[in-house]
Chains A and B, each alone.
Chain A
Amino acid sequence: MKIFASLARGSLVAYTALFFAFIYIPLVLIAVYSFNANPINMMTWSGFTTDWYAQVLGYKTAITGDAFYVESTDQLVQAVFNSLKIAASTTLIATVFGTSIAIALYHFDFFGRRFYRVVLFMPMLMPDIVLGIALLIFFVNSGINLGLKTIIIGQCTFLTSYVFIVVSARLSGMDRTLEHASADLGANEWTTFRKVVFPQLLPGILGGALLAFIISMDDLVITYFIAGVDVTTLPMFIFAMLRRGIKPEINAIAVMMLSFSFVIASLGLYLRSRQK
């Protein structure tokens, strides 16, 4: 019996270790190779360097010739700025819409309520490529010029769903009797919302907003269709680079993006823990 127990335990440990290794080893490898001095074959270690980072950020380095793939740091910076601008706008819009819809569907019982719920799930279930094409056709037909504006509108269509789902989850976990208690103690609907519902909802709203931000920063397929020719976002920029071969600068960019996401996620977790 004892042997079985320790065997089960051992395999559970091994399974867990493998699981995490599978997820995190590739990330660790990228981070490691981003410091590899070998310009030709990045899988072969030839020494430590921070040149790739310097390169990406536009500093002069010893690396020359073919190894250098970020043709213009300005373009990269522009792409990053585009992505940030888009993510900030879409996050704001999607958070306001998603939250309002979630609250409305929670509080009011009206005709077609269930139908709305389904409609709101749809953009998440739809394949990106279909959504991208659909949006493109829509924008072209309605004569809207492709650019930042269309990216923002397009991304909002599915980011609103994400915020809606996160906030709805928070709402459905909320204790309805708290609203009764508030009314019982003399607060009208608006005061109850302000003092009881909203403060409890806030972690959910922030969580939804962070999720929307990260997904927006990360979106390639849909954005690719509706970006037009003038606007390039960070994922589009990286994708364009990749088409010419995997080069060490990409590792450096990836590590920087990863760090950024990590900071955002940590911030989210921190806010959550404080709200609890």
Chain B
Amino acid sequence: MRESIVRMEKAAKTFATPEGQTITALGGIDLDVRRNEFLTLLGPSGCGKTTLLQAISGFVELDSGRILIDGEDMTDRPPYRRPVNTVFQNYALFPHMSVGENTGYALEVAGIGRQDRARRVAEALRMVGLEGLEGRKPRQLSGGQQQRVALARAIIARPKLLLLDEPLSALDKNLRQAMQIELKTLQHELGISFIFVTHDQQEALTMSDRVAVLSGGRIQQLDTPRAIYDKPRNSFVATFVGASNLFEGEAAAGRLVTTDGIAISHGEQGSTGAATALIRPEQFFLADPGQAGPILDVDLEQIVFVGSTFELFGRTATGRRVIAEIPAMRRGLVGEIEQSRRARLSYDPSAVHLIPAEAA
């Protein structure tokens, strides 16, 4: 069995705008999606996520490059002959068909008999928690239920790969979180690969085996959620995924000095030259009086209580913005700094990540 279910080689696509410019939607993408993998495409709106999905499903014709699914070249195959199914962003349920007809559409088109179909429709609807709703029309369902019908319809023909284009973006927060877990479970049960598109970094981190961060039609980084978060390869990934404090400067062994004279200690002994140091807000803690080790002094502009943490917004003496996140259990300390409007932030140098300048 091949290790990769989808392979993209130098996939490129540009669009011409009415104003006469060209937009690079896919800038020569190489991508391998593994069997049984939950892969998320994460990126800001307009970065090419939908185009990438549609290149796989066949609705976008590549300018150059090729696409293999399960080892077979799909580049010139029409969408209806590709072994992938899609859950569309707006669900795209057929309004004139019942839930049962919608769900069984792929089987009907494939010429599978009525009885077989009814059985498999019932099974698919059960998997998404909608048993017995065959007779309803899509408009008689809530948004969440419509979402599930779209899901049932897309998995009923057992595709080798399921593509999901921002499927949860229209749902409210609670439903969304419930669906995130259900999708994971479903993917596990089905044993097929999912390519999931989102612009929500939290969603990407919680659901995925691997995340591909896209920007400007290129994959900026393809890695596990932890690697994406802890070791972003460039400052785009660092700022897009999670909150971040970035310090550009000149790195020497164990130390990076910014142009405005701030020294950041770091644990990456080998790195020298121009680089950017990344410190996540939660890596800061409030230093005890007289504590040794690296310290960053900031003037506080705002302290925001968000439940589990306090968020501190401050500036260094040279005016550089710093965000820190302090666990709410350290209320006493926060009370003190609220008085003084100053904080001494300390951090563990080994947690500081250095991004080499050529990548940033």
A177 part of interface (Cβ distance < 8 Å):
yes
A191 part of interface (Cβ distance < 8 Å):
yes
Which residue on chain B has the smallest CB distance to residue A188? B80
A178 part of interface (Cβ distance < 8 Å):
yes
B157 part of interface (Cβ distance < 8 Å):
yes
Instruction: Note all chain B residues with C-beta closer than 8 A to A177.
Output: 88, 90, 92
Instruction: Note all chain A residues with C-beta closer than 8 A to B95.
Output: 200
Partner of B57, one of A182, A184, A200: A184
A1 part of interface (Cβ distance < 8 Å):
no
Chain A 180-201 interface 0/1 with B at a Cβ cutoff of 8 Å (1 = within): 1111111110010001100110
Q: State how many residues of chain B have any CB contact under 8 Å with chain A.
A: 24
A66 part of interface (Cβ distance < 8 Å):
no
Say whether A185 contacts B106, CB under 8 Å.
yes
Say whether A181 contacts B86, CB under 8 Å.
yes
| Cα-based distance from A271 to B81 in the complex (angstroms) | 36
Say whether A184 contacts B94, CB under 8 Å.
no
Say whether B109 contacts A186, CB under 8 Å.
yes
Interface range on chain A (Cβ under 8 Å from partner): 10 to 19
Chain B 216-227 interface 0/1 with A at a Cβ cutoff of 8 Å (1 = within): 000000000000
User: A32 to nearest B CB, angstroms?
Assistant: 44
| Cα-based distance from A200 to B92 in the complex (angstroms) | 14
User: B227 to nearest A CB, angstroms?
Assistant: 32
| Cα-based distance from A182 to B86 in the complex (angstroms) | 10
User: B300 to nearest A CB, angstroms?
Assistant: 49
| Cα-based distance from A115 to B306 in the complex (angstroms) | 61
Q: Report A185-236 residues with CB < 8 Å from chain B CB.
A: 185-188, 191, 195-196, 199-200
| Cα-based distance from A175 to B90 in the complex (angstroms) | 10
| Cα-based distance from A186 to B93 in the complex (angstroms) | 15
Partner of A175, one of B84, B92, B110: B92
Taking A185-B85, A187-B109, A188-B80 as contacts, is the C-beta distance between A178 and B153 under 8 angstroms? no
Partner of A182, one of B96, B105, B110: B105
Instruction: Note all chain A residues with C-beta closer than 8 A to B96.
Output: 199-200, 275
| Cα-based distance from A175 to B89 in the complex (angstroms) | 13
Which residue on chain A has the smallest CB distance to residue B163? A184
User: B124 to nearest A CB, angstroms?
Assistant: 13
Instruction: Note all chain A residues with C-beta closer than 8 A to B92.
Output: 175, 177-178, 180-181
| Cα-based distance from A191 to B92 in the complex (angstroms) | 17
Which residue on chain A has the smallest CB distance to residue B150? A181
B15 part of interface (Cβ distance < 8 Å):
no
Say whether B86 contacts A184, CB under 8 Å.
yes
| Cα-based distance from A187 to B97 in the complex (angstroms) | 15
| Cα-based distance from A196 to B58 in the complex (angstroms) | 19
| Cα-based distance from A14 to B86 in the complex (angstroms) | 55
Partner of B94, one of A181, A183, A188: A181
B349 part of interface (Cβ distance < 8 Å):
no
Taking A199-B96, A200-B95 as contacts, is the C-beta distance between A186 and B88 under 8 angstroms? no
Which residue on chain B has the smallest CB distance to residue A175? B92
Instruction: Note all chain B residues with C-beta closer than 8 A to A199.
Output: 96
Chain A CB within 10 Å, residue with most, of B57, B58, B78, B109: B109
B59 part of interface (Cβ distance < 8 Å):
yes
User: A193 to nearest B CB, angstroms?
Assistant: 13
| Cα-based distance from A229 to B59 in the complex (angstroms) | 59
B79 part of interface (Cβ distance < 8 Å):
yes
Partner of A185, one of B58, B59, B90, B157: B157
Partner of A183, one of B79, B90, B110, B157: B79
6 closest Cβ pairs, A-B complex: A181-B92, A185-B106, A177-B92, A183-B79, A187-B109, A183-B80
15 contacts between A and B (CB under 8 A): A177-B90, A178-B92, A180-B88, A180-B92, A181-B92, A182-B109, A183-B59, A183-B78, A184-B84, A184-B86, A184-B154, A185-B109, A186-B106, A195-B105, A275-B96
Residues of A participating in the B interface, judged by any CB pair closer than 8 Å: 175, 177-178, 180-188, 191, 195-196, 199-200, 275
Assuming A186-B106, A187-B105, what are 12 further A-B pairs, CB within 8 angstroms?
A180-B59, A180-B88, A181-B92, A182-B105, A183-B59, A183-B80, A184-B57, A184-B59, A184-B86, A185-B106, A186-B80, A188-B80
